[in-house]
Amino acid sequence: MNTHLMMSRRFAPLFWTQFLSAFNDNFLKNTLVFLILFTLAADQAASLVTLAGAIFMAPFLLLSALGGEIADRFDKAFVARRLKFVEIGAALLAVIGIALSSIPVLLTALFLFGVISALFGPIKYGILP
């Protein structure tokens, strides 16, 4: 059977999950950056934009190894589903933060998205054929 990988029924859901997660992460980070830039003075905004980048990247440095252990120890599909349910909660928190224009709430949501992405990365690479 010589089926193209992008047309495979097993690969398409993983591809769309990965695409939408990356889009969601970048959308939230850019929304937070614009909110910071338009609500704070220039000297405060620069440091908070840098902090937002660090808050998003820190989970990758701290939790990627744990994500690999989880991917090896448990069923990858089960863990991926659970992480996506947690991501829905983080997205709801982000929506609340955007509605309230609350930078601390959005920073918390950004950190949660970083944690989810750091844990999901090893799982998605483990699922690939």
Burial (CB < 10 A; 0-12, 13-18, 19+), residue 59, is: buried
Dist CA 3 CA 8 (whole Å): 7
Q: Where are the alpha helices (DSSP H) in the chain?
A: 11-39, 42-73, 76-100, 103-127
Average of per-residue pLDDT across 84-105: 93
Over residues 49-62, the pLDDT tens digits come to 889 899 999 999 99
What is the radius of gyration, based on Cα positions, of the chain?
17
Average of per-residue pLDDT across 62-74: 91
pLDDT at 25 over 80: yes
CB atoms within 10 A of CB 118: 21
Q: Model confidence at 2, in pLDDT bands (50, 70, 90)?
A: low
Q: What is the pLDDT of residue 124?
A: 83
Q: Model confidence at 32, in pLDDT bands (50, 70, 90)?
A: confident
Read off the pTM: 0.85
